[in-house]
Every structure is written in structure tokens, then in C-alpha cells.
Structure 1
Amino acid sequence: MKRNHWLLAVALPLLLLAGCGAKEPDPGAEAPTPTPAIQIEKPQSQVLHSTDSRSYYTQNTRYDLETMTARDWRPELPRGYQMTAEGPVSDGQALYFVLTRPGESSSKALGRVPLEGGEVQILYECGEHEQIGIAYTDGAGEYYKRPILLRSGERRCFLVNRWGEEEEDSTWLYAWDSASGTCEPVKRLGGHVRFWGEYQGRAVLRDSWEPEAGLFQLDAETGEMTVLLSSENAETSQFVLGPALLIRENFICVGSIFAQNPDGKERVYCLDLETGAVRQLASSDDGYLLVRVQDIWDGKLRVRGSEGYESELWYVDCSTGQKVKGMLADESGTPMHIRAQIGEYYLIDVESERWTKQLWINDQGEPVNSWVNQRGLALIAKEDYWAGRPDYQIFKWEGEQVP
């Protein structure tokens, strides 16, 4: 019999009740025993993400974890502005996102709107040759980048990258104070500093400018940066200078390119920051010319291999170097994509029953209408995902009948 999960998840301050994969009971079968209540505690991280204790957000959709429903989310923006492709991040009180104002000199701004709705507030508007720092903070390497917001008490900090002929390249830490409503520069962090992940709840920045190259942990409270890895260390310099970098949990994974290897092959390496162990996780010997790091979930690295039009996705255990088998996959055997993590659960992409009409041009240059299945989101226990059990609950659009 397929195992059913009834999860009672307490996510402060919200009681999240979701029956994952619940079906109509079989009159002739023994009733399943509910699992004990599972505490979902939000990690104490300075880095804000796309999920809070109640909802998950994309650019135009809110997924409610209390009701397991989805609805359109479209705040009224100030005149002349439009939201970029990046989705918002949440601090449990408000949403923060990047806006752009098209024109001859397109400018960007950081916007904020309370969770309960209301007027969009512009916290910071970029000047010429300025850009607000954005990066993959959820579902890395697959979906839209989001603004980098850091929690510092009641302040919300963000990065501003500057460049130009009159001023050297620089990255500044800015802070918006909710009490005063003002936004002020805190500290100049460096000339070639960018966000690359988080470790122990703090943002990890990389300075790619030799000889100062290194990885640094940024304390949003003080603006101080401490060395995590230095290019002066020959054993770990590849994790500082590597072109493809991913930092998640206590792992740093990096992909090398042809030019770095005498044999002309690509490889993926992983450094365990807790043990100091360095391990090769993938290479072009696995059957693909190119190998790329994608994401890390619970110590497992998602790798994409490609050659020509052929490609494949797989997971490798960062601690053992062994390929992960048996995880939840689609009909083609491709691991189902993880969007975000909520305690002991994942948000994953699944097929939905919603269809949308799409217009495209065929080889003869003629317009053709076709119906395309929209992807949906579902909530699944992590243990079920890695065991390959499709025991998940799909978010229903508001107004649809929930079985």
C-alpha cells in the first residue's frame, strides 16, 4: 500500500497543516497511523529567501502553505516602474523585489510592500552605473535570481555594485532602517566583490581580484568580512578562482573548465568546510563533454551533463562522491526539480491540470496556436523525495475544488 503522510508542521507563528498525497480512504484497508508532529523551525539566517513561515513567492504567484492554494500576486507598482523577472524575498513582514524603469537610461530600484498588501515603497533607486546585487538564492541555476537582502535586527541590508570611468569598481553594503525609513551606506566592501552563497547563516562573498582573491563571510550587523578561504592556500585556491561556484550548507562545489586541465576535460570538485576534505564529484569521463554544478540539497549536488543536444541531470552525494539513486524522478528518469526547502519538506515542480494557449511560428513562418501544460508546485517530505515516493500534495488555484 502506498504510504500516506499527514504532517502537522508548526512554523512560527503559523500552524501548517498539510496532508501530503492524501487520498480517499479505502474502506477495506486499515487506516494509516498519523506521524508525530514535526517541528519546522526557520533557520536563523541573515540571508532572506523566497519562502517565509506562511507562503512561497514567485514573480506573480503566491503559494499559501496554510491552505495549500495558489493565487495571483500582482502589487500595484509606482507609475513608470515594472517588476523585473526576479522574484521577491520575504522577511516575514514584507516582500522585497527589484524594479526597473525603462527609458533611455534604464534604472533599477529596490521596492518593498507589506505582506498584508498596501503601497509599494521605493527603498533605494540606483544611479547611473549602479546595480542592486541579485543572485540565485533558491533553486540555484534553474530559475530567476532574486535581490540579496540581509537581516540585521530591524535593518534590511543589501549590496550595491558600482562601476564607471570616474570611480573604481566597488561594492557597497547599504542598510534600510524601518524605524526611520532612511537608507544609508554602511561600508565599502571591495572592488570586485559578489554574493556566492551563505554559510552558518551569513552571506558569503567572493573577491575575484588577485592577489586579494578569496571567499569572505559578511556580518550584516557590523559590515565586517572574515576570511573563509584564501587564494594563498594552494589546496583550496580552485574554490576561490573557479568560474562556476556554488556554496550551500557546509559545501563549496566548483566546476573546472578545459583550459584549467592539461587533458582537456571538465571536472566538478567539492570542499567540505567542516572536515576540510576535497572530493571529485563528476567529470567529462561520465559521458558528457560539459559538466556543470546546479544546486545542493541536503548534502547532495545536482549536476548537469551536456554534449550537443543531449543532456542529463543527476545527483552526487557530496560526502561520498557516489551517485544518488532512487530519488523522485519524472517519466524520463530526470530528478524532479526542487524549488525551495521548508524545514523537512521540499517545494517541487510537478505537472498540473492547467493548460495555457501558446502562439509560436512554425518552419514555414506561419503562426500556430497550441495548448501547453503549465507546471505546478507541490509539497513533499524530504524523505519521500529521496526514496522516490510520489507522496506529495499539489497546490490548487483558489476557486478550484480540492479533492
Structure 2
Amino acid sequence: MKYYLIAGEASGDLHGANLMKALKVQDPEAEFRFWGGDLMQAQGGTMVIHYRELAFMGFAEVVLNLGTILKNIALCKKDIAGFKPDRIIFIDYPGFNLRIAKWAKLHSINTHYYISPQIWAWKEGRIKGIKQAVDEMYVILPFEKDFYEKKHNFPVHFVGHPLIDAIADRDPINPKVFKKEHGLDDKPIIALLPGSRKQEIGKMLSVMLAVTKDFPEYQFVIAGAPSQTKVYYKIFIKQNNVRFVANKTYDLLSVSHAALVTSGTATLETALFKIPQVVCYKGSRVSYEIAKRVIKLKYISLVNLILDKEVVTELIQTEFNAKRLKEELIKILDKHQRASLFLEYYDLEKKLGGKGASRKTAELISKK
């Protein structure tokens, strides 16, 4: 069969790649065309646009780039019409994907949504469009099944979280070799995960790096995003005398002692590696003020949302400053605090449903 996949972010590229790999097992004749990234490209098929060209964050940024977004929507519709896929698979990225899903449904194309939009957080009204445009929905968070089925009478498939597979199936590394390759010494590592978009990296790193001088017994290492080049990070590295590892976030986390993490998928990844963390977020003032009024959640990190309590500290907007970050980093370096956090992380993993998300989803998509 012919599959058309649309992923608009680095996390979508990861999950899309693993789904493509699983689909090839279920359907050896699978033909792919997609919007995604390097990981999806490695699985074969034709990439239409890289997610680097699609990633706009925040309300204000979306408005400023509206012309580009509308052009991409038109291009996507035309490209799908030319490819004539048997299945379209949408991977998160709701602002774009739900528009394409509505159009695809009108053209009688079979629509599958892998990794639900977070309408339980905001824009719950999107459920009407989802019911009309999506044939099959595959959810990866345990509370999403009840949200869709009990609250909105829309059947969905809970397939577990694909990050569990992505982490479990990675090739193991030799910590000593890894450190030597990247110029790291024997001091305990505090990983800095500032995000994947230039807009957020600059904001987040400027505060994260401000605390490095207060912890001389540790080495701080920036995790470079696959969407950015080392040249972009060079000024941060040089000014702060920190180390840098490009496109090896999982390997870096596997040898880290603690982490400062920008809110997003990385908070869950860090937890699954059992690394104590402080969750950080700072957006533009306009975007934050709008979000504060429309998002109806107690927490912003997936760790806390899934466990429904504050397990990891969240420093948001004005709370995200060097003073508070130093205070919270000291706490997660304490051995008693760390032991308590490890137990919470094990409960988190149990709630996520175990391995096999990509395989389960591929089986369902290829047979529908």
C-alpha cells in the first residue's frame, strides 16, 4: 500500500520513523511519501519537506508566519492528490494536520491519526472536526482513551507510548568511549536540553547556562538538536566553557546525573532514562499570556500530567530564572530526593503501557 505521513517536529520524525519501520514488517510492499526529517528519510521513501521548515512555536510566531503556513497547506493537498495514497497518517502537529485531514476526508482518503493532538489541554472544540475527519485515532497517553471514549463518545486505540520502544531498542554505548569521543571528563554530567527550535533554544540556554558557575564539581553538556548545526551553538559553548554533543541526546542522557529540560517530549524521555530533572519553559510574553488564559492544565510536563501530581518541578516564565533554577538543581542532586524520584519514574513507565506502540499501530493501520 501507499502511505503518506505528515510529521512537523523532531519528536514526530522519531515516532514516524519507528512507525514506518513497523509498517514495512506488516506490509513489505509499503511505499512512503512524507513530511518529516532525517530519521524518517532513513527508512526510505520520498521526503517532501523537512520539519525544519515547518516548526513555528507560540501564538505570535504562528501569526507572523501565516503566509508560509497557508502555502505549505496548499502544497500538501496538491502533493497528496498526485500521490494518491491508500492511507494518510497524521503524527501530532494538529494546526496543520487537522486542516489536511478535513480536506482528505472530503476526497475519500482513509485517514489515521497517530499521537493525538492535545485537545485535552486546550481547543477541546477540535473534537468535532476530529470525529468528522479522522477514521482511526491512536493515542499514546493512558488518560486519553477515557477522554475520547467516555467524555466524547469517540472510539480510539490506546497503543502505549512509542518512546518506550525508541529507548529500549537503541544501541547501547560504552560510557567511557562516549565521553572520550566527545571530550568529556569524569565529572558527573548535567545535561542541558534547551529544545529544538532556534526561538526557544536562545531563551532557554541563556538561563540554563547562568547556573553552571555555581556547580564546579559537575560538567554541563548541551544536547544539540538534530534540527540545528553546531555553528548555531558555538557562541553559547565558547562564552560559557561548556561541552556540546550533537544529535546524541539519548546517549547523553544515558550517562547523565541530572538534567535541565525544556518542556516537551524531552521531559518524558529524560524520565524514562531515570534522570532527575528540572522542567523549564519560557515563551514570548504575548504567547504566554494567551496560553495562560486558554490552557486548562495543572501541569505542563508530561511526567506530572501522566502521574497527576507534581513529581518534577516546573519553572515557568518568570519562575524560570537563575536563582530558582539553582535552588531546584541543588534539590535533585540530593541523594534522598533522587531516590524518591526514581520510584516515581518506575510508576510512570508502568502507566505508559509497555513496549510495542509502533508495532500495534502498524498492525491496525495496515489492516484497516
TM-score range, shorter chain: under 0.3
| Larger fraction in helix | 2
Greater relative contact order structure (CA < 8 Å, 6+ sep): 2
Larger radius of gyration: 1
| TM-score for the superposition, normalised by structure 2 | 0.24
